[in-house]
Amino acid sequence: MVSDQLFQLVYVSRCSVPMSDEALHAIQMDAAQRNREAGVTGVLLYGHGSFLQLLEGTKAKLKQIFGRIALDERHQHCSVLYFKPTHERSAGSWSMGVLHLDSSRSPIPLDQMLRYFSEHAEDPTFPDPVASLIYHFEKLTSETETEAA
Ligand SMILES: Cc1cc2nc3c(=O)[nH]c(=O)nc-3n(C[C@H](O)[C@H](O)[C@H](O)COP(=O)(O)O)c2cc1C
């Protein structure tokens, strides 16, 4: 029997080549289309030559999609930080939301996002690290959009 239990996977990786906004956009378009078909949601953050990506979906779909992502030559050293079952999606509104951390007026380093991901373990407002990551992703996305407007 195939389980429909949802899982969340977070990994970091190093970029093989510097990413322009266009190159990131190309990954986003391709990923969003495939993820939509697979019922997968998530976000991708890029900063200072590294990626941090959250993927949500059934275990079978995540294995399939992450299996392909890990082989992609555009990045290397994929390291899974988090892989756990969940009752609900944190990134349900995105088939693949993308944030270029170096592009905002006050660029923030990816390791700060990593800290957001891990540091709220004791904070009751953020009972899980993925919720914390998404909170900051949404905040930064709206600030970046406001700056661009
Ligand atoms: C950083 C990064 C993130 C990616 N995220 C996704 C994703 O969320 N979903 C997806 O289907 N492909 C994603 N891709 C693209 C896959 O690695 C791969 O190119 C795509 O699934 C096609 O695989 P195939 O050429 O083996 O058919 C990503 C690629 C990179 C470099």
Q: Encode pLDDT of 86-128 as tens digits.
A: 999 999 999 999 999 887 666 778 888 888 777 665 566 666 8
pLDDT beyond 80 at 78 = yes
Please return the burial class of 116, using the count of CB atoms within 10 Å of its CB with bins 0-12, 13-18 and 19+.
buried
What are the strands of the beta sheet with 50-58, ordered from one edge? 75-86, 6-15, 50-58, 41-47, 97-100
For the Cβ of 35 lying below 6 angstroms from any atom of ligand 1, the answer is yes
Mean pLDDT, to the nearest integer, of 123-140?
81
Residue type at 51 in one-letter notation = F
Tell me, yes or no, if the pTM score tops 0.85.
Answer: yes
Q: Do 91 and 134 contact (CB within 8 A), yes or no?
A: yes
For the Cβ of 19 lying below 6 angstroms from any atom of ligand 1, the answer is no
Average pLDDT, the chain: 88
Task: For the chain, state the CA radius of gyration.
Answer: 15
Q: Whose CA is nearest to atom 31 of ligand 1?
A: 74
Q: What are residue 9's DSSP bridge partners?
A: 55, 83
For the Cβ of 52 lying below 6 angstroms from any atom of ligand 1, the answer is no
For the Cβ of 53 lying below 6 angstroms from any atom of ligand 1, the answer is yes
The confidence score (pLDDT) of residue 86 equals 94
In Å, what is the CA distance from 113 to each residue of 58, 84, 133? 25, 19, 7
Does 6-148 carry CATH code 1.10.10.10?
Answer: no
For the Cβ of 77 lying below 6 angstroms from any atom of ligand 1, the answer is no
Q: How confident is the model at residue 31 (pLDDT cuts 50, 70, 90)?
A: very high
Top pLDDT among 118 and 25 is at 25
Atom of ligand 1 nearest to the CA of 55: 8
